[in-house]
Structure 1
Amino acid sequence: MNDRQGRSGQSRGRAPARQAPARRAGSAAQRRRRTVAVVVFVAGAASFGGGLVVGAAHVPQERTLVERFAAAWSRGDYAAMYRDLSAASRDRFTREQFSAAYRTARETATAVTLRTGEVREQDGSYVVPVVVRTRIFGTITRPMTLPVEGEGEDARIAWGREHAFPGLTPGAKLRRETRMPPRADILARDNTPLATGPDRTSDVPDVAINVVGRVGEAPAERRDELRERGWPSDATVGLNGLERALDIQLAGTPGGTLRAGDTVLARTEPRAAAPVRTSISIPVERAAVTALADRLGGVVAIAPRTGEVLAFAGIAFSGLQPPGSTMKIITVTGGLEQGIADLSSSYPVETFTTLEGVELENANGEACGGTLTQVFAESCNSVFAPMGAQLGAEKLVDIAERFGFNRQPDIPGAAIPTIPAAGEIGDALAVGSSAIGQGRVQATALTMGTVAATIGLRGRRPRLSLLYDERQRAAPTTRVTRTEVARTVEKLMLAVVREGTGTLAAIPGVKVAGKTGTAELETTKRCEPTEENNPESCSDEADPTDTDAWFSAYAPAGEPEVAVGVMLVRAGAGGDTAAPVARQVIQAALDR
């Protein structure tokens, strides 16, 4: 319930205000300190929200205080709660200590919501209905007594740590003991077992070994997340592959005991999850593994319309590398959006361009120029580095982020693709280098497969999933660029495979749209002989281990059934080595 709902809800169904009872005579000390027992009933919970009925005219100020304190607790407003503590309580506990006590109790109990109702007077005390739900321990119903110190305007809550959670007593600590259920089985999209039982055995070990991944002790970066979920510190978790990406679905729900000191507040049994049917296609996965062979790299295949990941191999999710000229898909999208380029644009034939006084060569120093279609098909650095510089850092970063850079991928555990913030990229040379996938730009095969899928879906980025959807519904999408821009980029990508650097990805009778990438890890610039009359002192032969090979593609253009991202570490030119890998995976996906 939001604050507005809480306040409006407080005015409905209130009994007529009672006249404040006459005070009994007492000593001055008794009048200065009066303890009012406030009983709070709590019912099991998950986060903090809700509201109380606020007192009206003639309501004792002590009651108003309790209502205000409980309402603030409902919405997790610890600062407001702290303001209502007595001076002695504030002397004993800082605001940070006070807030930490509630947050720790909430995490320990795996609390998700806490709602409070109307305060009612009962036998000289105030009863506050509180509904709390927990992720693991179900419903907890217990009264809590809140002491009120002072009278009238001087009334304040005399707070102790035992008031951080119902059932606690002075000196007692809230603690839990949890245990995990058996891990769920993993199935392929055709229900073939990929990992079953505690030993994670499979009927297709050649496929399973490449996608299932490993389980083990939780890495340090996940411990806070898992503790909040209520998992025990010694829980076995997924470390990579499907075990990591589907960890939450496979783990089930922990069970255990919640105690306040020696008192048991709740006890539940672990609940195992049902077998998890994934989106993995066995024939496509085998094609990806076979095509990658024993090379270091990553391959991913995506069904663009549903967002399902059909296959992945190697370091498809984790291998961050400069994406090279596959980044030009993003750069030309920005150029088309801003009117910097269109299909009628033409460019001079050049072997290099100069930015900030530094020469940026085309691959192997080749002469390159012509129409936009031609320079994209031949992947001219001499065109797209200046285009990026003209686009500018701010717009280049914006379009890259729309395609998925600098955001957590949809696949849990996958590495985040990055491009520096606009103010951090640097000068025109750095922006131009980023526009051609060099500099400090980093991506994975998953990243560039998603970029291809986005163009294939006419500029809409699909939400990816490793779970099979029996109804094969269209995935939710995010608009990245205009439809007409994506159609133009598709025409450019078709030319790459038809007549440019990506012809080895061509499939007879299939319209394959793609883009090659050759990312320099070291300089590939042709050198000059250092010894006069000795040409052997400098070899013009390129070292293929100086570059990563990339290919980003989808097919068939117009109604894409598959999008792929391929990255091969230190494997030469993308058109020579990555494009044939993509062709094999695309063919398998179309044949499945």
Structure 2
Amino acid sequence: MSDQPKKPRAGNSSQSRPTSAAGQRSSSDASSLMKRRAIPVAVLAALAFVIGAVAGASSGGAGESEVRAYAAAWQKGDWATMYAQLTTATKKRTTLLGFADENRSTLATATAKESSVTTGEPKDVGDGRWQIPVTVKTRIFGTVRGTTTIRTAEDGDATKVVWTPSLAFPGLKPGQRLTRQTTMLDRGTLLSKDGQVLAEGPTRTSAVPDVSSEVVGQIGPIPPERALEINSLGIPPDAQVGTSGLELIFQPELAGLPAGTLTAGGRVIARSKGAAGGKVRTTIVPSVVRASSSAMSGRQGGIVALNPRNGAVEGFAGQAFSLLQPPGSTFKIISTAGALDAGTATTKTVFPMQSGIELSGFRLSNAGGEVCGGTLAQAFAESCNSVFAPLGAKLGSAKLVAVAQRFGFNHPSPIAGAAQSTIPLELGDDLNVGSSAIGQGEVQASALQMAIVGATVARRGRLVVPTLNQAVADRTKASDGVRAIKASTARLLQQFMIGVVSGGTGTAAQIPGVTVAGKTGTAELRSPSEEPEDTDAWFVAFAPADKKRVAGNAVGVMFVGAGAGGETAAPAAQTVLSAMLAAD
């Protein structure tokens, strides 16, 4: 090589080395030179070793990428990606749906969620087998740890995972399934806000049976549609569970933790000591429930009494959470909010006095054919369809839907078991948009939803999240929550709603000495018709409507087939608001 020292030429072997000071190379200099030359070689050797070690660690056997993808997807509950790593033969035996169902049901047996699985680093143990450390956090059995051994096989040009149901949980051997035996301990107790017993013991006895009969609800066999959900909580299939009312809403807290064992092929791998259900202090105020029940007077519909400051549901009656109907003109609170927020209308806008309006070739008339218009406040007080239908059309489908969704439409209710109020995402032509803006068309709402709408206005535009748990209400402030509409818009709406009660369509909701803000609604079920049973009566209100402080009382009333909202729903709202004010 060129960097090797040259040998002396023949005949020059007797040539002496230089001895002058300038030309002499000492033995120490030679040693230093050799060390300098050796350093790069050593570095390169070490680097090569590291690279080789890393490459050796990351270049496992065939199917490594598939096994790693399978493990990573497992802890995300990504069944489709896991399924994609399986061999063709496995896929012929098991569909994607069957694969996902097997994994979900196994986790449910362990009382674990899809997001409860954590996988470790896969290890190649030879012969096409890989071991994956798996940790599963369960609801009643604590944390279960184990190792799952996965077998791979050639599948065309790739190596894929051979899956069997025993791979759905760590610790299972081939052919084994996860099983569970559990028993329920004592069911918990429901209390009112002031500590009175609403339901306790096996027979669910109450100190205030007239109140509990309205709000507590029932317990019974597990409904088929809730079987997987209940199974994932560890509850045995023959148990009694909450099926309606507070018993349903607080089912997890009242049921407690079941006691039992988790077994793999007859071998116990985890145990649960269980825990009895606890005491749940609700937001229920007995006097408000009695007033709500009295105001219903046996009619179909629902009433909800809500505290705008903290979202506490103080009382309800009828089908307050579950029944959906077109909200009629109470929806004008939402369409007016959208128009004000967007600048589509202002307090200075003046609308023509007329008895109806034509949209998309169809005439929409005011209730009773009355002539109305004027300022936005005047039109709101008189609930003029001839103003708000075209105003909604001008606002447009997208903006009207968006503001409704900010009030809670098209979102699951925070109250377990409550129906979701809806508005179509695309409303269509001007007639459909205009009809929706006045609470007709395909708009559907519950009494709970419209109480939330009124309470959100009272809360200066911040969305009210309803709760029946007093502990949640106690830590909620009036300044909490996302903003649904501008504070300035909420203040204007409050003034408009005060006008409805003081001199508009809602005067029957007046309370002496208290400023009440409200909005009537009369939703047509069949048109044309002059019969009261062909319309739903609505009223939304809150009090006291104060400029300085958020109102502490709001109510939503809906009566099916009961005529005009101002005549039947408004007096009912007045009864409930009076009871709420007395209980403050």
- Same-fold call, TM cutoff 0.5: yes
Distance 1:511 1:67, change over 3 A: same
CA contact (8 A) 2:329 2:522 kept: yes
Task: Note the alpha carbon deviations across 1:194-223, whole angstroms, 9 max, x for none.
Answer: 011111111111111111111112333322
Work out the CA distance in 1 between the residues paired with 2:106 and 2:147.
Answer: 16
Q: 2:564 aligns with which of 573, 578, 581?
A: 573
Three-state SS of the structure 2 residue aligned to 1:258 is strand
2:563 is aligned with 1:563: no
Query: Is the CA contact (8 Å cut-off) linking 2:328 and 2:524 kept in structure 1?
Result: yes
| 2:454 pairs with 1:455 | no
Are 1:335 and 1:387, in contact at CA under 8 Å, matched by a contact in 2? yes
* Aligned equivalents of 1:179, 1:477: Cα separation in 2: 40
| 2:505 counterpart (501, 512, 526) | 501
Question: Partner residue of 1:9?
Answer: none
Equivalence map 1:239-388=2 (5 Å): 239-388=243-392
Instruction: Give, in whole Å, the separation in 2 of the partners of 1:216 and 1:502.
Output: 42
Q: How far, CA to CA, are the matches of 2:91 and 2:167 in structure 1?
A: 14
- 2:240 match: 236
Structure 1 position 121, deviation (Å): 9.1
Residues 389-422 of structure 1 show CA distances to partners (whole Å, capped at 9, x for unaligned) of 2222222222111111122111111111122221
CA distance in 2, matches of 1:386, 1:164: 58
Distance 2:420 2:175 in 1: 45
Q: How much has 1:550 moved relative to structure 2? A: 0.9
For residue 551 of structure 1, what is the aligned residue in structure 2?
539
Give the total of aligned pairs: 523
Structure 2 residue 516 is the aligned partner of structure 1 residue 515:
no
Deviation at 1:574, TM superposition (A): 1.1
User: Could you say which residue in structure 2 is the equivalent of 1:591?
Assistant: 582
Residue 452 of structure 1, CA deviation: 0.2
Counterpart AA for 1:408: P
> How far apart are residue 91 of structure 1 and its match?
7.0
Q: Distance in 1 between matches of 2:355 and 2:81?
A: 67
Shift of 1:319: 1.9
Superposition RMSD in Å: 3.0
How much has 1:383 moved relative to structure 2? Answer: 0.9
In structure 2, the residue matched to 1:479 is 483
Alpha-carbon contact 1:322-1:438 (below 8 Å) kept: yes
Distance 1:100 1:317 in 2: 31
Give yes or no for the alignment of 1:102 onto 2:115: no
Q: Is the 8 A contact 2:283 2:470 kept in 1?
A: yes
Mean Cα displacement is larger for which, 73-82 or 456-465? 73-82
2-side partners of 1:415 and 1:335: how far apart?
Answer: 27
Change (3 A) 1:18 1:75: farther
Structure 2 residue 228 is the aligned partner of structure 1 residue 224: yes
User: Measured at CA, do residues 116 and 277 of structure 1 come closer, stay the same or move farther in structure 2, by a change above 3 Å?
Assistant: same
Aligned with residue 134 of structure 2, among 130, 137, 142: 130
1:115 has 2:103 as partner? no
Amino acid at match of 1:163: L
Which range moves more in the overlay, 75-84 or 483-492? 75-84
Cα contact 1:18–1:58 (8 A) shared by 2: no
Determine the structure 2 residue equivalent to 1:39.
none
Give the residue type in structure 2 aligned to 1:581: A
Q: Distance in 2 between matches of 1:75 and 1:362?
A: 55
d(CA) in 2 for partners of 1:178, 1:336 = 57
2:439 equivalent to 1:442? no
- Aligned partner (choices 195, 198, 201) of residue 194 of structure 1: 198
C-alpha separation between the residues in 2 aligned to 1:91 and 1:315?
Answer: 48
Query: Separation in 2 of the partners of 1:279 and 1:568?
Result: 24
Q: Relative to structure 2, which stretch is displaced further, 396-405 or 306-315? A: 396-405
Cα separation, 2, equivalents of 1:158 and 1:472: 52
Aligned residue in 2 for 1:428:
430
Q: 1:301 to 1:56 in 2, by over 3 A?
A: farther
User: Which residue identity is paired with 2:439?
Assistant: G
- The answer (yes or no) to whether the contact 2:60–2:124 under 8 Å persists in 1 is no
The match for 2:415 among 389, 411, 420 is: 411
Per-residue deviation, residues 84-131 of structure 1 (Å, max 9, x unmatched) = 667776776666655554344323222342334456799999875433
| C-alpha distance after superposition, 1:222-274 (max 9, x if no partner) | 22322333333223222221112222222222232222222222232332221
CA 1:342–1:143 in 2, change beyond 3 Å: closer, same or farther?
closer
Q: Which residue of 1 aligns with 2:398?
A: 394
Q: Give the fraction of aligned pairs with identical amino acids, expressed as a percent.
A: 49
- TM-score, normalised with respect to structure 2: 0.82
Q: Residues 220, 157 of structure 1: CA spacing in aligned structure 2 closer, same or farther, 3 A cutoff?
A: closer
1:204 aligns with 2:208: yes
Q: Kindly state the Cα deviation for residue 137 of structure 1 after the two structures are TM-superposed.
A: 1.9
The aligned counterpart of 2:26 is none
Q: Distance in 2 between matches of 1:565 and 1:412?
A: 19
- How high is the TM-score relative to the length of structure 1? 0.81
For 1:200 and 1:481, locate their aligned partners in 2 and report how far apart those are by CA, in whole Å: 43
- Classify 1:398/1:268 alpha carbon distance in 2 versus 1 (closer, same or farther; 3 Å): same
Give distance in 2, aligned partners of 1:89 and 1:517.
Answer: 59
Deviations 1:453-507 (A, max 9, x none): 0111111111110011374531642211111111111111110011111111111
Change (3 A) 1:336 1:58: closer
Whichever of the two has the greater Rg, that structure is 2
Give the Cα separation in 2 of the matches to 1:155 and 1:369.
75
Paired residue secondary structure (1:563): strand
Contact 1:17 1:59 in 2 (8 A): no
Judge conservation of contact 1:307–1:474 (CA < 8 Å) in 2. Answer: no
In structure 2, the CA distance between the partners of 1:18 and 1:374, relative to structure 1 (3 Å rule), is closer
Cα deviation code 1:5-53 (max 9, x no counterpart): xxxxxxxxxxx98989xxxxxxxxxxxxxxxxxxxxxxxxxxxxxxxxx
Contact 1:325 1:379 in 2 (8 A): yes
